[in-house]
C-alpha cells in the first residue's frame, strides 16, 4: 500500500521525500516498482525498515520484545522470534546492562520501620504503593544524585530530583514533594524505601507523617530485592541512557535525565509489566474497561 501510494504520487511529491516520511528505502521501492522482488520479500524488507526505524527512534534501547509490541501497535503483527532474527541480520542489538552500586547509607541511629510492602509489587489502583530510591550518576565534574518516586500501579515516575548533594532536602524530600503535586494521596498509601538516612531522618519522617494517610515501609537490611522495582528503574536508566556514553557535563546530564524520564520513560517507553503498553495506553485500556463494566 505504501509503495502504491508513492507510485501514484510521484508527479506530485519527490520520491526521496515520500520514502523518508513513510519510512521505506528508496532502493526497496524501485525494486518493487520494477517487479523484481516478490510480495513476501517486499513485506520482509518493509518490516526490516520499520524495525530499524523503531530501533533508532528508541535510541537503541529496545530489544526484540518491545520492537515486536511497537510493530503490532503500528499494524504489523509478527512474532518476537522473527523480529529477533531480523535484528540479528541487521546487526541491531539493544544496550546491555551493568551492575550499579547502592547509594544510600543505612548506618545510623534513626527510626527504622517494618517492611510492610513485603515484595507485593502488583497493585490494582493508583496511589496504593509508592516506592523510592536514590542512585548516583557520574558526570565530568563528579557526581549527581537521582532520587525517584514510582507508583507501582502504572510504573510511572511521579516524583524525582537530580541534585549535587545527598541532603534530605535535596533528595528524598524534593522527590516526595513533586510526587504529591503530581498524584493525589489516597488513604492507606504505602511509601516504601530502603533504610537510608535520607528516608529515616527526622526531617523526612516529620514531613511524610504530616500527610496522615501514608503508611511507611522499609526494606530489610541488606536486601535489595525488597525494593526491586525502584532499583529496576535505575538499571533501565543506566542501561538505556548512560552506560556506553562518554562522560558529559552536569548541565547536559540534567537535560538528558529530564528527557529520559518525562519524555521517554513516562510517555513513550513500552513496559513489560504493562504487557508492553505505554503508560498512556495502559490508562486508556483501564478506563475503557471501567466504562464497559
Cα–Cα distance for residue pair 64/88, rounded to 1 Å: 10
Q: For residue 33, is it within any domain?
A: yes
In this predicted structure, what is the pLDDT of residue 293?
A: 45
| pTM of the entire predicted model | 0.72
**Interval 5-42: pLDDT, tens:** 888 888 788 888 888 888 888 887 887 777 655 677 77
The answer to the question of residue 291 being in a domain is no
Whether residues 77 and 167 fall in one domain: no
> Do the domain assignments include residue 285?
no
* Tens digit of each residue's pLDDT, the chain (293 residues): 788 888 888 878 888 888 888 888 888 788 777 765 567 777 888 888 888 888 878 878 888 889 999 898 888 889 999 999 988 888 787 765 454 444 555 555 567 899 999 999 999 999 999 999 999 998 888 889 999 999 999 999 999 999 999 999 999 999 999 999 999 999 999 999 999 999 999 999 999 999 989 999 999 887 878 999 999 999 999 888 887 677 889 999 999 999 999 999 999 999 999 999 999 999 999 887 655 44
Which ranges in 228-269 belong to alpha helices (H)?
228-237, 250-258
- CATH number of domain containing 225: 3.30.420.10
| Alpha-carbon gap, residue 239 to 245, rounded angstroms | 10
| Residue 237 domain flag | yes
Do residues 66 and 135 share a domain?
no
Asked whether residue 186 falls in the same domain as residue 253, the answer is yes
Within this chain, do residues 196 and 70 fall inside the same structural domain, yes or no? Answer: no
Counts of helices then strands in the chain (DSSP H, E): 12, 5
Owning domain of residue 152: 129-266
User: What is the predicted pLDDT for the residue at 100?
Assistant: 46
204-213 long-range contacts, Cβ below 8 Å, gap at least 24? 204/168, 204/172, 204/173, 204/176, 205/110, 205/111, 207/173, 207/176, 208/176, 211/180, 211/185, 213/185, 213/186, 213/187, 213/188, 213/189
* 73 and 179 share one domain: no
Q: Are residues 140 and 226 in the same domain?
A: yes
In a domain, 288, yes or no: no
Beta bridge partners of 131: 150, 192
Q: What are phi and psi of 130, to 5 degrees?
A: -110, 135
- Geometric angle at alpha carbon 282, from 226 and 157, rounded to 5°: 45
Amino acid at each position: 500500500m505504501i509503495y502504491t501510494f508513492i507510485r501514484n504520487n510521484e508527479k506530485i511529491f519527490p520520491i526521496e521525500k515520500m520514502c523518508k516520511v513513510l519510512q521505506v528505502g528508496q532502493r526497496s521501492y524501485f525494486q518493487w516498482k520494477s517487479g523484481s522482488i516478490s510480495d513476501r520479500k517486499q513485506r520482509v524488507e518493509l518490516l526490516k525498515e520499520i524495525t530499524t526505524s523503531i530501533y533508532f527512534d528508541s535510541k537503541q534501547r529496545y530489544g526484540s520484545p518491545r520492537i515486536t509490541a511497537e510493530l503490532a501497535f503500528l499494524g504489523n503483527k509478527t512474532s518476537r522470534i522473527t523480529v529477533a532474527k531480523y535484528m540479528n541480520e541487521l546487526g541491531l542489538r539493544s544496550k546491555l546492562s551493568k551492575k550499579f552500586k547502592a547509594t544510600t547509607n543505612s548506618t545510623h541511629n534513626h527510626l527504622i520501620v517494618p517492611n510492610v510492602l513485603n515484595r507485593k509489587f502488583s497493585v490494582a489502583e493508583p496511589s496504593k504503593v509508592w516506592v523510592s530510591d536514590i542512585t548516583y550518576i557520574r558526570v565530568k565534574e563528579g557526581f549527581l544524585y537521582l532520587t525517584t518516586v514510582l507508583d507501582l500501579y502504572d510504573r510511572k515516575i511521579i516524583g524525582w530530583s537530580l541534585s549535587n548533594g545527598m541532603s534530605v532536602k535535596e533528595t528524598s524530600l524534593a522527590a516526595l514533594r513533586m510526587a504529591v503535586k503530581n498524584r493525589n494521596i489516597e488513604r492507606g498509601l504505602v511509601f516504601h524505601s530502603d533504610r537510608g538516612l535520607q528516608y529515616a531522618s527526622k526531617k523526612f519522617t516529620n514531613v511524610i507523617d504530616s500527610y496522615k494517610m501514608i503508611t511507611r515501609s522499609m526494606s530489610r537490611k541488606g536486601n535489595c530485592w525488597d525494593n526491586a522495582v525502584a532499583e529496576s528503574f535505575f538499571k533501565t536508566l543506566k542501561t538505556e541512557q548512560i552506560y556506553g556514553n562518554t562522560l558529559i557535563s552536569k548541565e547536559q546530564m540534567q537535560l538528558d535525565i529530564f528527557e529520559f524520564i518525562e519524555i521517554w520513560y513516562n510517555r513513550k517507553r513500552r513496559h513489560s509489566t504493562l504487557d508492553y503498553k505505554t503508560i498512556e495506553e495502559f490508562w486508556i485500556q483501564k478506563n475503557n474497561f471501567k466504562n464497559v463494566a
